[in-house]
Amino acid sequence: MTHEEIVQKLPYGPPFLFVDRITEVSQKHIKGEYMFKDTCDFYKGHFVNFPVTPGVILIECMMQIGLVSLGIYLLRDKNFDLKSTATVAVVEHQARFLKPVFPNENVTVVSDLEYFRFHKLKSQVKMLNAAGEVVCQGVFSGILKPGDAKS
């Protein structure tokens, strides 16, 4: 499975797709990037005179790259379709925010797998800014549940 195929299989679309590209992937690790463009609607009202990316959006970006994209890769041989017959559920996250992310900032998300069994995926995930500084990190887990087969 190519990096582009992983992104195409994500069950998100603009304006809620927070993955520009996957740069590395293996059975135990994934790395991807996203640019928070200043045209994103949430900047219009989140600290009007000093726009900052909301923490919930940072978590979503980390989940899309660090869990869902990795899960798609791990399930690549199982005909697993998140866009039509499967669901993704966040089970838990423990995030720590260390630095702000501003408009037009490019971030890199790195995820190291702790375990994947019974469709539950748990990873150590961190987000880095362009200077390589950790802006957010945490332990994230979710369930990638296959849907019922269509008749």
Domain count, the chain: 1
**Location of structure tokens 């900032």:** 105
Read off the pLDDT band of 145 (50, 70, 90): confident
97 lies in a domain? yes
**What tens digit of pLDDT does each residue of 66-98 get?**
999 999 999 888 877 677 766 777 777 789 999
102 within domain boundaries: yes
For this structure, is 46 an active site residue? yes
pLDDT tens digit sequence for 34-75: 999 999 999 999 888 999 999 999 999 999 999 999 999 998
Is 151 a residue whose pLDDT tops 60? no
> Is residue 150 included in any domain, yes or no?
no
pLDDT value, residue 107: 98
Which pTM does this prediction carry? 0.92
**Spatial separation of the C-alpha atoms in residues 129 and 81, rounded to whole Å:** 31
- What CATH number is given to the structural domain containing 115? 3.10.129.10
- Across 55-81, b (16+ Cβ under 10 Å) vs e yields eebbbbbbbbbbbbbbbbbbbeeeebe
Find out whether 67 and 141 touch, Cβ atoms under 8 Å: yes
Comparing 44 with 147, the larger pLDDT belongs to 44
**Is the pLDDT at 147 greater than 80, yes or no?**
no
77 assigned to some structural domain: yes
DSSP type of residue 144: E
Q: Is residue 151 part of a domain?
A: no
- pLDDT for position 73: 94
Please tell me whether residue 54 adopts helix, strand or coil conformation: coil
State residue 78's pLDDT score: 80
Written as one string, the DSSP assignment of 57-111 is HHHHHHHIIIIIIHHHHHTTTTT--TTTT-EEEEEEEEEEE-S---TTEEEEEEE
Structural domain boundaries, residue 30: 3-145
| Mean pLDDT of the 142-147 span | 79
Q: Which residue among the candidates 3, 46, 93, 119 is catalytic per the annotation? A: 46
| pLDDT score of 52 | 97
